[in-house]
């Protein structure tokens, strides 16, 4: 959670990184743990989680689909997108028409049968933007 200044390269960290780098299946922490444990039988799940967090904070790996909190619901079913405030979590509407063009492009470069997409924006809501501006004064 609190990012340390130096990254110590322990055996656990190195193996986690190596196994993830050579894995092309986008594994979950759990799946990766199973693979890593073949090389380091005593490693704990907590270490895997901690390292995945630290390594992605440092940009050495990528974490897919952020969005840990609770799921949210919308009573409005019309087509529109959402913005999430990175500071307070508030969600706003983005009343854009469906964006197209990249569905066709995506189909061209994937062997999946692509049926749709999910798009969401992130940034700061008006009041958090103001708060943050104050801090930089």
- Using CB under 7 A as the criterion, which residues of the chain lie in contact with DNA when the complex forms? 1, 4-13, 28-30, 40, 42-47, 49-51, 53-54, 68-71
Q: Does 46 bind its own copies (CB under 8 A)?
A: no
Q: Does 14 bind its own copies (CB under 8 A)?
A: no
> Binding string, 73-92, against its own copies, x = CB under 8 A?
xxxxx---xxx-xx---xxx
On whether the CB atoms of residues 28 and 59 are closer than 8 A, the answer is no
**96 φ, ψ (degrees, to nearest 5):** -90, 145
**94 φ, ψ (degrees, to nearest 5):** -125, 95
* DSSP secondary structure letter of residue 94: E
Q: Does 72 bind its own copies (CB under 8 A)?
A: yes
Q: Collect all residues with Cβ–Cβ distance below 8 Å to 12 and sequence separation of at least 6.
A: 36, 40, 43, 47, 51
Positions in the binding site for its own copies (CB under 8 A):
17, 20-23, 25-30, 32, 52, 56, 59-77, 81-83, 85-86, 90-96, 99, 101-103, 105-106, 109-126, 129
């Amino acid at each position: 959670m609190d990012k340390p200044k130096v990254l110590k390269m322990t055996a656990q960290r190195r193996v986690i990184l190596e196994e993830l780098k050579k894995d092309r299946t986008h594994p979950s922490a759990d799946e990766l743990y199973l693979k890593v444990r073949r090389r380091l039988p005593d490693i704990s799940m907590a270490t895997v989680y901690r390292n995945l967090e630290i390594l992605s904070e440092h940009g050495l790996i990528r974490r897919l689909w952020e969005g840990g909190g609770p799921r949210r619901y919308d009573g409005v079913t019309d087509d529109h997108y959402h913005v999430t405030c990175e500071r307070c979590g508030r969600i706003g509407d983005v009343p854009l028409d469906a964006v197209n063009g990249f569905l066709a492009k995506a189909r061209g470069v994937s062997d999946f049968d692509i049926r749709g997409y999910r798009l969401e924006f992130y940034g700061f809501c008006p009041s958090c933007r103001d708060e943050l501006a104050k801090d930089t004064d």
